[in-house]
Amino acid sequence: MRSSSISRVLDDNYTEAELKTVYPDLDWQCQDQSSDFGDRLCVTRIGVFNGIPARYLTLFFRVGKVSAVKMVYREIYHPQLLTHLHRHLGKPAEERAISQAQPQPASLIHWRTEQGVVVVKKQLQKGEEAALLWLSAALATQHYPTAPSHERVK
């Protein structure tokens, strides 16, 4: 399976058809399914995502555009993923609530980017799913209207 580029996937300008064109070797399984993240989703197994051994990607669509991405990866690579995120996105936002209405659990860290918000657990507990979540800027604003703006700090 091909490696996916985080900068190419984490962008709300993609439609389902464009993703299938950009990643034709992946076996996308898509269906209409309403959730907080959108009205449709596509799932595919992957082997690697930005150099991190992974299991699968779930892409959520709202009104035909990507609104969220969930990448499930192999738990033993959690430290490597955190290093990758720090290297490419800088220091995560302060460990505080994203908003007063939606407090951020202490176990989560996030990065605000121009394209949205990347969220991952700081540490995995035994048996927890190892997953990275990206919310598009529009979705993040809708769910977390007082989220801090992106500041790249090293």
Q: Which of 111, 43, 56 is nearest to 82 (CA)?
A: 111
Length of the chain: 154
Contacting residues for 87 by C-beta, under 8 A, at least 6 apart: none
> What does the pLDDT average to over 131-135?
94
> What does the pLDDT average to over 110-137?
90
Residue ranges of the domains in the chain?
3-143
Minimum mean pLDDT range among 30-44, 86-100, 104-118, 120-134: 86-100
pTM: 0.80
- The CATH-assigned architecture of domain 3-143 is 3-Layer(aba) Sandwich (3.40)
Contact, 1 vs 45, CB < 8 A? yes
Ordered DSSP codes for 37-96: TEEEEEEEE-SEETTEEEEEEEEEEETTEEEEEEEEE-GGGHHHHHHHHHHHH-SPPPSS
- Extract the tokens encoding 130: 């190892």
- Extract the tokens encoding 119: 């969220």
- Extract the tokens encoding 82: 């955190």
Per residue in 41-93, pLDDT (tens digit) is 999 999 988 788 899 999 999 999 999 999 999 999 999 999 999 998 898 98
